[in-house]
Amino acid sequence: MPRVTRPIYLDHNATTPCDPAVVRAMLPYFSEDFGNAASRTHAFGFRADAAVERARAQVAALVGADPREIVFTSGATEANNLALLGAARAQHRASGGKRDHVVSCRTEHRAVLDPCLALEREGFRVTLLGVDADGLVDPDGLRAALEPRTALVSIMHANNEIGVIQPIAQLSRIAAEAGVAFHCDAAQSAGALEVDVTRLGVEFLSLSAHKLYGPKGIGALVVRRRSSRARIEPILHGGGHERGLRSGTLPVPLCVGFGAAAELAAGARVADFARHERLRARLLARLESSLPNLALNGHPSARLPGNLNLSFLGVEGEALLAALPELALSVGSACTSAKREPSHVLRALGAGEARSLSALRFGIGRGNDEAQIDAAAELVIAQVRRLRALSPAWDDLRRADGRT
């Protein structure tokens, strides 16, 4: 067993450490240039406003947007709520109540699914599309779900649990042909993949800083200016900040940190992609060569480079986590990990309860290297073997496979 003096962090889909360069960029705006960006009557406010606008441009450049299209929020959850609630209500109002239908997907993050439930309570109808066994949305299924009363489609770019990348450009074209606005949660993909709002063809795009080595507590919603379908109204009121779409004093240090992280991500993306993909392949190969009855959850190639979601059949995921204090892993989304129930994402793939409850998510990031991957693999292999030896479920699997 490898000796690990400090836990190995393999949960980068949940959050990433703030890059030291990002921290350095933020520090002056806590105590030196501490002005309110809305105070445009003195030098402190001018400097704060200039810093926010520089950050807005940096975030916009990461996703090919116009800086005027960036609306800062407290994170991707708020951005998703603003997009879902704000756009659906705006479309409903503009149509005289005729557009009252929203289309999303069963594998979405709760930050999209819960606003959909809120819209249902307001009288909207919601259609949740299924996915295939690899986690992909069927474009023909989206086409069939659209109707004249559809106000909005919301499909995430890359899944937070299984890393599957949806064909957003193709899906958004189908929505556009029907005259329907399209929202995309890109919290997981921005910085990891090439994300360009024009190529994706979306009206709204949600972003999060802490998924790309920036600070927690700051995100953004891209609201396209060139699309007539990008109608939206605020869900927060109280000052008209962010061009009236998101009231509230901007956290200047966090905006600066988001901008710095976005600029760093843009420069490191290609190298990060290749490195994370190589480390993921190394980890998977080590585990598959030593452990039978593994199941890969999600598409084998159309997935985030650092994401690996595996079911260790015959072992409960929570028991395996408890046996691995040397590793920082998760059984699924950090936002729902407190609930002991099969992942709604894995259920949508058709995975049974046993496979869903035996899943672990590995999230590889910039801080990981080959030595850590090899150590993690050895630790997992040892504990899976130990737990399987104690598991009646594993005995049943072995008998079913014809092994004694």
Q: Which residues are catalytic?
A: 335
Which two tokens mark 158?
């890359």
Gap between the Cα atoms of 178 and 174, Å rounded: 7
Nearest to 66 by CA among 174, 264, 205, 249: 205
Taking every pair of C-alpha atoms in the chain, what is the biggest distance, in angstroms? 80
Q: Is 28 exposed, middle or buried (0-12, 13-18, 19+ CB in 10 A)?
A: middle
Nearest to 260 by CA among 78, 2, 26: 26
- Three-class DSSP labels, the chain: CCCCCCCEECECCCCCCCCHHHHHHHCHHHHCCCCCCCCCCCHHHHHHHHHHHHHHHHHHHHCCCCHHHEEEECCHHHHHHHHHHHHHHHHHHHCCCCCCEEEEECCCCHHHHHHHHHHHHCCCEEEEECCCCCCCCCHHHHHHHCCCCEEEEECCCECCCCCEECCHHHHHHHHHHCCCEEEEECCCCECCECCCHHHHCCCEEEEEHHHCCCCCCCEEEEECCCCCCCCCCCCCCCCCCHHHCCCCCCCHHHHHHHHHHHHHHHHHHHHHHHHHHHHHHHHHHHHHHHCCCEEECCCCCCECCCEEEEEECCCCHHHHHHCCCCEECECCCCCCCCCCCCCHHHHHCCCCHHHHHCEEEEECCCCCCHHHHHHHHHHHHHHHHHHHHCCHHHHHHHHHCCCC
CB neighbourhood size of 11 (10 A): 19
Residue 341: HSE in the Cβ half-sphere, 13 Å Cα cutoff: 5
